[in-house]
Amino acid sequence: MTDTKLSFAKFADKYKLLMSQENEHVKCLIIGSGPAGYTAAIYASRADLKPVMYTGLLAGGQLTQTTEVENYPGYPNGIMGPEMMEDFRKQAERLGTDIRYGYVSSVDFSSLPHKVVVDDIKTILADTVIISTGASAKWLGLDSEQKYSGFGVSACAVCDGFFFKGQDVAIVGAGDTAAEEATYLAKLCRKVYMIVRRDEFRASKAMVSRVLNTANIEILYDSETKEIVGDGQSVTGVTVINNKTNETKTLDVTGFFVAIGHKPNTDIFRGWIHMDETGYIKTTPGSTTTNIEGVFCCGDAQDHIYRQAVTAAGTGCMAAIDAERYLAAKEHIVTA
Ligand code: NDP
Please give the DSSP secondary-structure letter assigned to residue 231.
Answer: -
pLDDT digits (tens, 9 = 90+) for 240-293: 999 999 999 999 999 999 999 989 999 999 999 999 999 999 999 999 999 999
CATH top class, domain 17-136+262-335: alpha beta
Ligand 1 atom nearest the C-alpha of 178 is 26
Q: What is the DSSP string of 96-119?
A: T-EEE---EEEEE-SSSSEEEEET
Average pLDDT, stretch 193-203?
97
pLDDT of residue 6: 46
Ligand 1 pocket: which of 138, 172, 176 to mutate (most atoms within 8 A of CB): 176
Helix (H, G, I), strand (E, B) or coil at 238: strand
Between CA 227 and CA 215 the distance in angstroms is 26
Evaluate if residue 336 carries a pLDDT over 90: no
Per the annotation, the verdict on 317 as an active-site residue is no
DSSP states of 15-76: HHHHHHTTTEEEEEEEE--SHHHHHHHHHHHHTT---EEE--SSTTGGGGG-SEE-SSTT-T
Assigned superfamily of 139-258: FAD/NAD(P)-binding domain (3.50.50.60)
Q: Per the confidence metrics, is the pTM higher than 0.85? A: no
The residue among 148, 196, 146 whose CA lies nearest residue 171 is 196
Ligand 1: centre distance to CA 140 (Å): 13
Amino acid at 142: L
Is any ligand 1 atom within 6 A of the Cβ of residue 176? yes
The yes-or-no answer on residue 108 being catalytic is: no
**What residue spans define the domains of the chain?**
17-136+262-335, 139-258
* Known active-site residue 156: yes
Ligand 1 binding pocket mutation candidate from 140, 198, 202, 302 (most atoms within 8 A of CB): 202
Q: Of the residues 28, 127, 156, 297, which is catalytic?
A: 156
**Residue among 13, 93, 22 at smallest CA distance from 53:** 93
For residues 83 and 64, what is the distance between their CA atoms, to the nearest angstrom?
A: 8
Q: Say if 17-136+262-335 and 139-258 have the same CATH topology.
A: yes
Local confidence band at 14 (pLDDT 50, 70, 90 cut-offs): low
